[in-house]
Amino acid sequence: MPLRSIAFLLSFLGSSTAAFVVPVLGVLFYVALYHLYPESAWWGKPLRPLGIRYSFVCGLCLLIGTALNLNRLRFGQRFFHPVEWLLLALFGCMFLSAAILPEWNARTEEHMDKMSKVFLFTFLMSHVLVSRNHLWQFAVLLTAVSLYLGHEAKTAPPGAFTGSRLDGIGGPDFQESAGLAIHLFALLPFVAVVFRARKLWLKGLAFLAACYSMNAILLCRARSAFLAAIVGGLMALWYIPRRHRRWVVVVLLLGTAGGIILSDNWFWERMVTIFSSAEERDASAASRLIIWQGALKMIREYPWGVGVGRFRDMIGRYIDDPSFAYRDAHNSFVICATEIGVPGLLAYTAVLAASWLTLSRLAQRVPRTMVNGDLFEMLIFANRLALIVYVVSGFFVSRFYVEGFWWFVALPVCLQRAVENEIRVEREEAFVLQARLNMEMNPAPGWLMPPHLPTPAR
């Protein structure tokens, strides 16, 4: 058995066991599993005879560990945050749309099973990842896995390319080139946060992760990710705290220069089709308009949704051209509205709005109430950009059932609870310090002072 397989198995067993005592280790290793995806990696093939469901086992250990340590977790007075309530409502809409189906197809079972685990994990994550150190570890882990995905893209064999586009890297959510490019763009803001660390090895890790990630993104040649990156870059200049604006400008300029150097003609030939006329636009882009028109007819006929995973089976009925049968919606909002219905779309937009509102309130609160809040400010900024990348790209690619996206939706809850915990500690320390100063400036009468005990003999 290869050494890498043995090392992974030992890490998996150790982290899953440690999650019973330290739940945050279960959260971090679950995130790592999502990116490593040992089921498809060459070093994971020797472990297949063991029949281990890595994510399921890790998630189960995390659930048990969270329950065992519930009294020690510092998630505040509110067990449910408004974002979590809305996530629960969205899942209820999914379950309702699936329950009214006469029978489930393979996609319905796959999506319902997946989203059940996704929402359960995000709920556990939002109650465990609630301190400055935990959030910093999460950012470092995202940097490490972005380097891993970038390295996998760099060393990908010729068979991993479909035409000139890179496919099949990472787990199921990254099998298509657009999915990989979008996710790597969402991770880059956290890579930039880690690059600001003082330790040289962290700066080196972030620098390599940024370079490899940018190279992988260019190999994907995804127009949706390119548009999301443009919008994210412009929004970065707007949302970054003023004292860090010069730093962001330098990072954006360096990233743009690096992207231009690494890009090739294949990349630019595909990107220019975004701005071409209707006659020059390629078939894959023009067909989206036809699919969305058919989806609108579907929503009018089924306002409560056609059921989870049923869009591809139904779209052919609303488009005269038979070549559009069994096609994807290429839009997260269209998928949500057609499969889960108008109530599901309302719940989806409400979740996004609540998540964004939480970040906006934190961005105002942290500099006003915290003494050392630079890290929180930068993580809030990174979370904002990740959401922008996923939401903007979601207008052109279906990212509704992607697990990584929902982590960034729930991450504002983690940030808010961590900020509240730190503010509470700072206030307690300030209260104790003030009490000591008052005692020194206004000492109590001698008869109220505690007696001086003799020093014990040694």
CA-CA distance, 338 to 236, in Å (whole number)?
32
DSSP 200-220: HHHHHHHHHHHHHHHHHHHHH
Structure tokens at 42: 């060459």
CA-CA distance, 436 to 367, in Å (whole number)?
27
CA-CA distance, 378 to 189, in Å (whole number)?
9
342 exposure class (CB count in 10 Å sphere: 0-12, 13-18, 19+): middle
Element (H, E) at 162: strand 161-162
pLDDT confidence of residue 414 = 95
| Domain spans of the chain, in order of start | 73-433
pLDDT confidence of residue 280 = 47
CA-CA distance, 96 to 385, in Å (whole number)?
32
Whole-model pTM: value is 0.87
- C-alpha distances in Å from residue 380, one per residue of 147, 357, 399, 456: 22, 11, 22, 53
**Shortest CA distance to 413 belongs to which of 83, 187, 77?**
83
pLDDT per residue, tens digit, the chain (458 aa), is: 778 888 888 998 998 899 999 999 999 999 999 998 888 777 888 888 888 888 889 999 999 999 999 888 888 778 889 999 999 999 999 988 888 887 788 888 888 999 999 999 999 999 999 999 999 999 999 999 999 999 988 888 877 777 777 887 877 888 788 888 899 999 999 999 999 888 999 999 999 999 999 888 888 877 777 888 888 888 888 888 888 788 888 888 887 777 777 666 656 666 656 555 444 455 555 677 888 888 999 999 989 888 898 888 888 888 887 777 888 888 999 999 999 999 999 999 999 999 999 999 999 999 888 878 889 999 999 999 999 999 999 998 888 999 999 999 999 999 999 999 888 876 666 666 666 776 667 665 554 455 544 555 54
pLDDT confidence of residue 142 = 96
